[in-house]
Structure 1
Amino acid sequence: MLHDEYADLEIVRKDLQITDTERDVLISRAITAACRKIDDETGRRFYLDEVASARTFRTRGRVLIDEDGQTLLVDDIGDVGDLVVETGRGNTWTAVTGYELAPENALAQGKPVTGLLLASGSWPTGTGRVRITTRWGWPVKPATIQQAAHLQAMRLYRRSSSPEGVAGSAEWGLIRLPHLDPDVRAMVGPYELPGMA
């Protein structure tokens, strides 16, 4: 399985009851499309970058203030081994220390860090920026997301027999197929970032 794919080609092939490898290209395309659809639906991706990269954030609308301090909401951080947090702008950056990862124990639970808490001090406001260098993504692929990708990939592969989005049987007649399997929608729903539904 490729690092950015959530379903396994061999398992999908087996569940489709295909015993040869002649259609692997079509199945692989369905897996890739299913995975990217899940990414689009949730507003995030469920694999970990291989190398650290920098992202710059404006703080406006990203800082939550409560009795614990100020939490800067960030994209999913899946590994903190290379984590560097800086504030500034342009070519002038200053390292930030003393922050805490939020939610607590996220990485130990196989979930990403989504916030950086400053118990004392504050994140910059106005034109200030925060630059974060880390490995982005999820530390592990959630089993629910893998199952959702598996189901959606099988559905997409089978769409070749219903190219207009309509399927039928003698028992039910013709029905229009939704773009995202209802079971898949239920599985990925809890992972959606706010505003993505």
Structure 2
Amino acid sequence: MALGDAYATLASLKSYMGVTTASDDTELQDALDSVSREIERHCNRQFNKTTTAYARVFIPDMCGWAAVDDLHTTTDLVVETDANADGTYGTTWAAADYQLEPLNGIVDGQTGWPFYKIRSIKAKRFPVTGQEATLRVTAQWGWDAVPEPVRQACLILASETYNLRQAPFGVAGSDDFGVIRVRDNKMAAAKLARYCRYRILVG
């Protein structure tokens, strides 16, 4: 799935809800799209992926390692730093200069995680100014595959969003599919808890 896609398909939502007609497909898809963006806001990360590398810049807060957005492959990966904080990324790091983490893409015994930390393992250091984006990373961003708990949370929240919109005393007639929040649904929040991260400084 590409960045911006919903984290569950329309077909899977209809199966989950027992819907057999196509009359409400547009509203169901709207619910999927809306809660997918809400999941991203709740977790501070995106779970789809790009297959073309492009650059993003970051503000390191430590010289020995830097938090970056999730990246799912080392293909086309380029790490550059701006030593003078002048907007010129003149230092390109060799693969031997850094280590991507989590190691082996494993967190708490679960495989399939992307890399989200770059650690310096030799002489190079990340320039830290506290304000300037001195790190530029070119990568294929996102997760290789949407984690199953994220997909399940998307179905739970999309179903609830759709049903509330149909309720006579809920938000019936409203076009606001942002009413449902992840924190309001304990089951969805529990499924997403391990995937939440702090906001990182990205440009």
Asked if TM exceeds 0.5, the reply is yes
Separation (CA, whole Å) in 2 of partners of 1:34 and 1:40: 10
The Cα shift of 1:159 comes to 1.1
Could you say which residue in structure 1 is the equivalent of 2:65? Answer: 71
| Structure 1 residues 8-36: Cα deviation after superposition (integer angstroms, max 9, x where no partner) | 21121122222111211011001101111
Structure 2 residue ranges without an equivalent (≥5):
172-178
Separation (CA, whole Å) in 2 of partners of 1:10 and 1:47: 18
The Cα shift of 1:164 comes to 5.4
Separation (CA, whole Å) in 2 of partners of 1:178 and 1:90: 41
2:90 equivalent among 80, 88, 93 = 93
Could you say which residue in structure 1 is the equivalent of 2:176? Answer: none
2:186 equivalent among 182, 189, 196 = 182
> 1:165·1:178 contact (CA, 8 Å) conserved in 2?
no
Percent of aligned pairs sharing the same letter: 27
| Structure 1 residues 105-142: Cα deviation after superposition (integer angstroms, max 9, x where no partner) | 01792111011111122211235711100011112110
Separation (CA, whole Å) in 2 of partners of 1:195 and 1:143: 23
Please tell me whether Structure 1 or Structure 2 has the larger radius of gyration of its CA atoms: 1
More strand by share: 1
Structure 1 residue ranges without an equivalent (≥5):
65-69, 167-176
Separation (CA, whole Å) in 1 of partners of 2:147 and 2:67: 21
Could you say which residue in structure 2 is the equivalent of 1:152? Answer: 157
Q: Report matched runs for 1:47-58 at 5 Å.
A: 47-58=48-59
Separation (CA, whole Å) in 2 of partners of 1:183 and 1:102: 29
> 2:49·2:144 contact (CA, 8 Å) conserved in 1?
yes
Could you say which residue in structure 1 is the equivalent of 2:175? Answer: none
> 2:153·2:188 contact (CA, 8 Å) conserved in 1?
yes
**What amino acid is the match of 1:141?**
V
Aligned residues: 180
| Structure 1 residues 78-125: Cα deviation after superposition (integer angstroms, max 9, x where no partner) | 121010001114244221122111111017921110111111222112
Separation (CA, whole Å) in 1 of partners of 2:105 and 2:190: 23
Matched, 1:27 2:28: yes
Where has structure 1 moved over 6 Å in runs of 4 or more?
A: none
Separation (CA, whole Å) in 1 of partners of 2:87 and 2:67: 21
Separation (CA, whole Å) in 1 of partners of 2:114 and 2:77: 13
2:113 equivalent among 111, 114, 119 = 111
1:140 equivalent among 123, 131, 145 = 145
> 1:38·1:149 contact (CA, 8 Å) conserved in 2?
yes
Compute the TM-score of the two structures, normalised by the length of structure 2: 0.79
